[in-house]
Chain A
Amino acid sequence: MATARLPRVGVVKLASCDGCQLTLLDLEDELVAIGQRFDLVEFPEATSRRSMGPFDVLLVEGSVSTPEQAEQIVDLRAQTKLLVTIGACATAGGIQALRNWSNEPEWRASVYPRPEEIESLATSTPVAEHVTVDAELRGCPIDPHQLLELLTALRVGRRPQLPDEAVCAECKRLGRICVLVASGTACLGPVTQVGCGALCPAYLRGCYACFGPRDAANTTSLATWLGGERSGVEVDRLFAGFTGYAPAFREASRRAVEVMQPAARRRRTKSKAT
């Protein structure tokens, strides 16, 4: 990409905590080099300089949660060549999508003293439900190595290496012992897209799927297995997390509540470990 003009890059947010944007600033060793190779024209966490495009590359953080954001994302799309969603909110709706299962006006009334002043959509939805998305970086927050790989691939002109495999593959390569098999800990690694470096199992915790479901994730089989030692409500809670609104996990939650709950007591040896 030896063009004279540097690619114009924007970083914007919708409904989100800003953690994914900060991942870019966390690339401390590469930040200067990135600044020399990309023209960061819009990045509120880093600069007060403002631009409304056009953008060669736009990193979009956050879900669409308000009427204003629903309009904003359409405008941004029109100004952008390559739109990349970053993080669990932008790619799956985020933790705030839990409200999609509830009565939004009731929630609003219970949280805010003057709910009539809050303008909010009934649902929190991923950006791809509103506009075409060219690439996505998953995670809560995103992984700095994947972000750097995306930027590098843009420079080199290759396809970014963002594998579509399970967390398990990386977990095993790192020599970590399976917490699901060896201690019965609920772990969503087998149905979750890799990218985090199998962080949670390294601390003997189960994966809670902040990178969201893999392509064609077999959540039904895993939910059935996990349901052998857990109630349907417990299984529902496992899937209804940071990326719970992603279709594969939404379906697993629904099944857990509607199908598994009545048959909660199953005939399988109870694990002594928890």
Chain B
Amino acid sequence: MVTAAGPAFLPRKRLDALLDLLREGGRTVIGPTIRDGMSVLDEIATVADLPAGWRDEQSPGRYRLSNGHGDRVFDIVNGQMSWKQFTFPPRQKVGEVNRSASSGGVSFLPSPPDPDRLAFLGVRACELAALGIHDRVLAGGTFVDEDFRARRDAALVVAVQCTRSASGCFCTSMGTGPEVRTGHDLVLTELDDGFVVDAGSPAGERLLARLPGRLATPGEEAAASAAVAATRAAIGDPVATDGLRDRLMDQLDSPRWAQVADRCLACTNCTMVCPTCFCTSTSISSDLDGTVNVTERVWDSCFNPGFAKVAGGNFRPKREDRYRQWLTHKFATWIDQFGTSGCVGCGRCVTWCPVGIDVREELAAIAPPALPVERAFIRPAAATPGRFEITTLRASHPETADTATLTLVPTEPVLLAGLPGQFVMVDMPGFPAFPISVSRYGIDHLLLTVRGAGPATAALLDTPVGGEVGLRGPLGQGWPVDRALGRDVVIVAGGIGLAPLRPLIDVLLAERARFGKILLAYGARTPADRLFISELTTWADRGIEVLQIVDRSGPGWAGHVGVVTNLLDQRDFASRPTVAFVCGPERMMQATTSVLRDRGISPERLFVSLERHMQCGIGLCGHCQMGPFFVCRNGPVFTLTELGDLFTRDGV
């Protein structure tokens, strides 16, 4: 029994006592073991399950095991599987979205977390860092992945300091190892005849106090330190991390992206084996009638062709776009998002790349962290994926041939407390959830203006009056109305882009005296493609200069024909302080903001609203990333200054 403070020594033959302690309270111990000749993480029922005498040999694209190297049980540095297999499982039920066969009513049944009680045995320093990064990404912000947090809270972590290294290791460069410093309950360092054991948490100290054995001698402590120091020396410092963030972001046009894309298979292996990659998709299993729909959160990857797809196309169509997204996110924009690199230097992406692409060859130098400032949020209703508030469809008003405005009545008042430019995630049984901007906040209802662009939006438009629709929100950053106080306002809308701008117009009109001149320039494909036609006149009567233009004329049209910038390119916005809000197709916004800048509006007063592939709506699933931003959480409204040259760049 160890009573005094300080590291203990556990003889090798008493390792079973540690397993017994870890198993107390019904815990299952997970650790490295050999299955079918492969190194995996799985249940350790007895000491014999640990890989005594086994070692790994790694090189880019190659991993081999051999045994017969003595008694040591932690000589395999790492394997393909990381601990995220257990803290953030590949498939995790999020909930059920059901429709009653009899009444047609809709129910949303989120799955409450129900984690297994696990003890992780053999967690390396780089992997502790990876768990810490996931804590930050998935549970450290405004929104939390509840299942992940529950699994983390339920797990006991027994770390092992590395006394061997693999060729892929670069923890030393990333500042994560090989020494174990934080994030563990217990830490072991393996010597020939046993383990030096120390505690890293109150729970660990309680375990340590009950462990058989004795205090470690100064000689044993020194031997443990020397072994880890030798590992550090063997790894060296393979990646120069000084200035890495800025250097990477300055090289978005490097010809190297195309070269590495010639080798890259876009097979997703690097992201699947990465202990920090967290991007996911929602998959739905429905019964044949779509009445019972189980939704699961499934590991996805930015290398998959469909990852950045929207109805109109793909934001990262080329393999080089996707490789650049992965590498710049991992080593650069991750720092902007989370204040830490996304890489812990475990080397898995190097070893498990089927064609041996080595990230260390793609890299040079570091980056001081700069945390993004998240603007204040109204906490949305049903903030977690899988949770939705039920709203009832009161009315549907057709706007154009393929677009209608739906009046939805919620029971949850927060849904009505949103800001202009915010959006909601819409969910219906059997369909993946999708984002729609709020086109008006009413006293007891909100309006969504929806174009039937795909099956899900078509199904939403087909919802009968009285039908139920799930909503989550309001989400994202809206139009900052306060920035327009006392200034002239230019609003430029293209097509359905007028819908997210309408709540802004409502606010400007409600307090008309507090703003200067207001100009609305609205472009549409044809006269019949214009939204809110009757209101356009009303707004003109209430002190807004309304200009309209269409690409192609139509019956009864006597107005302008051309593109929306034609309405602006003779204007002078330089003589009075002016703020502009722009929403429409991305090319239209690029052309418009270019003209507005030429006409005297500075980029920090130019606001645009971006579209990206949004699945979760709260920055957890990773789909909507654009450089350092999660468009759903940091946007969709951005200033041109924030976006910089990302705004006009393809494939980001």
Q: A221-B265, A225-B61 are in contact. Are A161 and B272 (CB under 8 A)?
A: no
Stretch at the interface among A18-26, A44-52, A168-176, A233-241: A168-176
Within 8 A of A (CB), among B263-310: 263-269, 272-273, 283-284, 286-290, 298-299, 301, 304-306
Q: A169-B268, A218-B266 are in contact. Are A163 and B290 (CB under 8 A)?
A: no
Q: Which of A157, A166, A224 contacts B268 (CB 8 A)?
A: A166
Q: Which residue of A lies closest to B429 (CB)?
A: A156
Q: A155-B288, A157-B455, A159-B454 are in contact. Are A221 and B262 (CB under 8 A)?
A: yes
Taking a contact as CB atoms under 8 Å apart, the answer to whether A182 and B267 are in contact is no
Stretch at the interface among B79-87, B437-445, B539-547: B79-87
Stretch at the interface among B350-358, B390-398, B481-489: B350-358
**Chain A positions 175 through 190: 1 when the CB is less than 8 Å from some CB of chain B, otherwise 0:** 1011011111001011
Taking a contact as CB atoms under 8 Å apart, the answer to whether A177 and B284 are in contact is no
Q: A37-B288, A152-B287 are in contact. Are A166 and B81 (CB under 8 A)?
A: no
The CA of A172 and the CA of B84, in the complex, are separated in Å by 12
Taking a contact as CB atoms under 8 Å apart, the answer to whether A173 and B264 are in contact is no
* In the assembled complex, B62 has its CB within 8 A of some CB on chain A: yes
* In the assembled complex, B585 has its CB within 8 A of some CB on chain A: no
Taking a contact as CB atoms under 8 Å apart, the answer to whether B304 and A169 are in contact is yes
Taking a contact as CB atoms under 8 Å apart, the answer to whether B306 and A164 are in contact is yes
* In the assembled complex, B646 has its CB within 8 A of some CB on chain A: no
* In the assembled complex, A70 has its CB within 8 A of some CB on chain B: no
**Chain A positions 119 through 162: 1 when the CB is less than 8 Å from some CB of chain B, otherwise 0:** 00000000000000000000000000000000110011111010
B485 to chain A, nearest CB (A): 45
* In the assembled complex, B90 has its CB within 8 A of some CB on chain A: yes
Q: Which of A159, A164, A177, A269 contacts B80 (CB 8 A)?
A: A177
Q: A215-B305, A222-B265 are in contact. Are A158 and B61 (CB under 8 A)?
A: no
Q: Which of B80, B288, B305 contacts A182 (CB 8 A)?
A: B80
* In the assembled complex, A273 has its CB within 8 A of some CB on chain B: yes
B54 to chain A, nearest CB (A): 13
* In the assembled complex, A33 has its CB within 8 A of some CB on chain B: yes
B647 to chain A, nearest CB (A): 27
The CA of A155 and the CA of B273, in the complex, are separated in Å by 37
B566 to chain A, nearest CB (A): 38
Q: Which residue of B lies closest to A33 (CB)?
A: B288
A157 to chain B, nearest CB (A): 6
The CA of A271 and the CA of B306, in the complex, are separated in Å by 35
Q: Which of A174, A217, A225 contacts B90 (CB 8 A)?
A: A174
* In the assembled complex, B40 has its CB within 8 A of some CB on chain A: yes
Taking a contact as CB atoms under 8 Å apart, the answer to whether A181 and B79 are in contact is no
Q: Which of A30, A190, A215, A225 contacts B269 (CB 8 A)?
A: A190
Q: Which of B63, B90, B288, B356 contacts A173 (CB 8 A)?
A: B90
Q: A157-B459, A169-B299, A174-B90 are in contact. Are A218 and B265 (CB under 8 A)?
A: yes
* In the assembled complex, B316 has its CB within 8 A of some CB on chain A: no
* In the assembled complex, A34 has its CB within 8 A of some CB on chain B: yes
The CA of A218 and the CA of B90, in the complex, are separated in Å by 25
A226 to chain B, nearest CB (A): 9
Taking a contact as CB atoms under 8 Å apart, the answer to whether A182 and B38 are in contact is yes
Taking a contact as CB atoms under 8 Å apart, the answer to whether B319 and A216 are in contact is yes
Q: Which residue of A lies closest to B261 (CB)?
A: A218
The CA of A214 and the CA of B305, in the complex, are separated in Å by 10
Within 8 A of B (CB), among A181-238: 181-184, 187, 189-191, 204, 214-218, 220-222, 224-225
Taking a contact as CB atoms under 8 Å apart, the answer to whether B272 and A169 are in contact is yes
Residues of chain A within 8 A of B352, CB atoms compared: 178, 181
Residues of chain B within 8 A of A182, CB atoms compared: 38-39, 63-65, 80
Taking a contact as CB atoms under 8 Å apart, the answer to whether A178 and B286 are in contact is no
Residues of chain B within 8 A of A189, CB atoms compared: 267, 354
Residues of chain B within 8 A of A157, CB atoms compared: 430, 455, 458-459
Residues of chain B within 8 A of A152, CB atoms compared: 286-288, 290
The CA of A177 and the CA of B79, in the complex, are separated in Å by 9
Taking a contact as CB atoms under 8 Å apart, the answer to whether A161 and B283 are in contact is yes
Taking a contact as CB atoms under 8 Å apart, the answer to whether A177 and B264 are in contact is no
Residues of chain B within 8 A of A271, CB atoms compared: 62
Residues of chain A within 8 A of B266, CB atoms compared: 166, 216, 218
* In the assembled complex, A39 has its CB within 8 A of some CB on chain B: no
* In the assembled complex, B331 has its CB within 8 A of some CB on chain A: no
The CA of A157 and the CA of B287, in the complex, are separated in Å by 13
* In the assembled complex, A251 has its CB within 8 A of some CB on chain B: no
* In the assembled complex, B431 has its CB within 8 A of some CB on chain A: yes
Q: A158-B430, A164-B305, A181-B351 are in contact. Are A218 and B264 (CB under 8 A)?
A: yes
Taking a contact as CB atoms under 8 Å apart, the answer to whether B284 and A161 are in contact is yes
Q: A175-B81, A182-B38 are in contact. Are A168 and B269 (CB under 8 A)?
A: yes
Q: A175-B85, A273-B64 are in contact. Are A165 and B268 (CB under 8 A)?
A: yes
A186 to chain B, nearest CB (A): 11
Q: Which residue of A lies closest to B60 (CB)?
A: A181
The CA of A215 and the CA of B64, in the complex, are separated in Å by 31
Residues of chain A within 8 A of B62, CB atoms compared: 181, 184, 271
Binding site for B on A (CB under 8 A): 30, 33-34, 37, 151-152, 155-159, 161, 163-166, 168-169, 172-175, 177-178, 180-184, 187, 189-191, 204, 214-218, 220-222, 224-225, 269, 271-273
21 of the cross-chain contacts (CB-CB < 8 Å) are A152-B286, A152-B290, A155-B288, A155-B290, A156-B431, A159-B454, A166-B267, A172-B90, A177-B79, A181-B63, A181-B352, A182-B38, A182-B80, A189-B354, A190-B265, A190-B269, A204-B36, A216-B266, A217-B265, A218-B266, A222-B354
Having A30-B288, A166-B265, one finds 16 other A-B pairs with CB under 8 Å, namely: A34-B288, A156-B290, A156-B431, A163-B304, A165-B305, A166-B266, A169-B299, A172-B299, A177-B40, A177-B79, A178-B63, A181-B62, A181-B352, A181-B354, A182-B80, A191-B265
